[in-house]
Amino acid sequence: MEVDKQKVVDSLIQQFEGNVGNIEETYGLTTLQVRKSSIFEVIKYLKEEQSFTLLTDVCGMHFPDNDPEMQFAVVYHIHNLFKNIRLRLRVFLPADNPEVDSMVDVFSSANWQERETYDFFGIIFKNHPNLVRILNMDEMEVFPLRKEFPLEDGGRIDKDDRFFGRSIHNE
């Protein structure tokens, strides 16, 4: 399995010279960083040539402390069921224009997963058939999982600040 995974990673590097890099292994899961312009080709190649037929998850991340070019990230978890190889692909997006191609043509499961990522981070997926909110109320205008969004609901007037660590004594 390790040999297979190394072979897949090597073939990826060889196929997508310069667009794939930054290979790390965190807790046994190999993570690659992919350039935004070629992520669609990478995932298509993985599905068709390397039989990675399961797109486990598409999720987003927000790094407000990074450079403005690398503030948002879309993370794809993709799995080869035949050889039991799991890969994680990361695409970093700029803060002012977080757009990336939609994977709906390759994996149908990406439909709702990308809607969820849009709902919580505001990342636009180009060519998505129906990019609307899926879990939050349709009328919501903000993107809740961005770091600037407050953690607690703003409508409560009865909260005692001492219980939330916000009083003058434990500030």
Partner 1 sequence: MSNGSSITLDAPPIGIEGQGYFLTSLDQVVGMARKNSLWPLPFATSCCGIEFMGTMASHYDLAQFGSERLSFSPRQADMLMVMGTIAKKMGPILRQVYTQMAEPKWVISVGACACSGGIFDSYSVLQGIDKIIPVDVYVPGCPPRPEQILDGVNRLQELVQNETIRRRDSPEYKALLRSYGIDIK
Note the residues at the interface with partner 1 (CB under 8 A). Answer: 135-137, 140, 144, 149, 151-153, 155-156, 159
Nearer to partner 1, 1 or 151 (CB): 151
Q: How far apart are CB 160 and partner 1 at their closest, in Å?
A: 12
Distance in Å from the first CA to the final CA of the chain: 51
The number of beta carbons lying within 10 Å of the beta carbon of residue 29 is 11
d(CA 32, CA 149): 29
Nearer to partner 1, 90 or 133 (CB): 133
d(CA 29, CA 57): 14
Nearer to partner 1, 34 or 131 (CB): 131
Q: How far apart are CB 132 and partner 1 at their closest, in Å?
A: 13
Q: How far apart are CB 100 and partner 1 at their closest, in Å?
A: 24
* DSSP-derived 3-state class of residue 35: coil
Give whole-number Cα distances, 75 to 11, 103, 121, 159, 168, in Å: 20, 12, 12, 36, 40
**E strand or H helix at 60, and its extent?**
strand 54-62
Nearer to partner 1, 17 or 153 (CB): 153
Q: Are 15 and 41 in contact (CB under 8 A)?
A: no
Q: How far apart are CB 118 and partner 1 at their closest, in Å?
A: 16
- What angle, 0 to 180 degrees and rounded to 10, lies between the N-to-C axes of helices 2-15 and 39-48? 130
Q: How far apart are CB 143 and partner 1 at their closest, in Å?
A: 10
Nearer to partner 1, 22 or 136 (CB): 136
